[in-house]
Amino acid sequence: MTTAEWAFQRFQRIIVEPYYYIQSVNTLQDWGDRFLDNYTGKTALSYSNTLHQFFEAIDDRELGAIGLRDIRSWLDELDCAHTTRVKHLNILKAFLGWVTEQDDSPIRRSPIGKRFTLAAPPDTLQERILSEEQVVALLDAAAPGRDRLMLRLMYEAGLRVSELCGLRWKHLKAGEISVYGKGGKSRRVGASPALWDLLNADRGAAGEPVFASRTGKALSPVDVHRVIKAATVAAGLPDEVSCHWLRHSIASHALNNGAAPQLVQQSLGHSSLATTTKYAHILPGQRLGDFVKV
């Protein structure tokens, strides 16, 4: 059963059986339905997806029969990013914690202890940072004009691919770019004089996309990924290089070339300075004494 089918079945039960919720609740899916009624929109959809996957994996057994080992095994077997596993774990914690608070709960405590966490994976951030020479090679390998300018802007401004695709000419004013990014947050990023001149060489109307296809529509993230993949192959860089590597790279290069962490944080839209400082790393031969005058 797919998530959509489960959601539809749940809707039918609520409509067809108006007295469903005053009847005794026994199955795991019943408890899931009750829990999901506390949420709406994207939150409900996300929670429903996690519960559906978990219930399918453990064969919809009774709540009292679920142990921490079942939850750990399911999380370990998921083919997804660590952040997604953490999200699933937090949703299960919320669900099982809610069940224990109900008067008719079949369990006294959640099988997931409050201190239970998932071990963080090895930090591979440094492996996704290009050297300055590699960035130059990548830009040179891109087709002259739109493609090369697009990659240069992503690098110099630290833009996410979605932010790049959302740019309109009205967002570029007086040497600054208004960026509307992740979580609905906005920020202003300054452009170097050289980059600003290139951007404004063929300026369009205020509402037009800065980077458009032949039909005049804004490029999609898929289009941009195709551009960077072609440039990656032409430059002889690792196949894993993606648009986001440029964002990682500018953060590292700026910090190691003396930029204030607060400037990098603001420019990239990091909510925490701790996120920004992860990009700073010790260069070969560096010593503390190099930064003081005695």
Active site residues: 160, 182, 244, 247, 270, 279
Q: Which residues contact 99 (CB under 8 A, 6 or more apart)?
A: 31, 35, 63, 105, 106, 107, 110
**Strand arrangement, sheet containing 172-173:** 172-173, 176-180, 186-190
For the stretch 77-109, what's the b/e string if a residue is b when 16 or more beta carbons lie within 10 angstroms of its beta carbon?
eeeeeeeebeebbebbbbbbeebeeeeebebee
Half-sphere exposure of 240 (CA within 13 A, CB side): 7
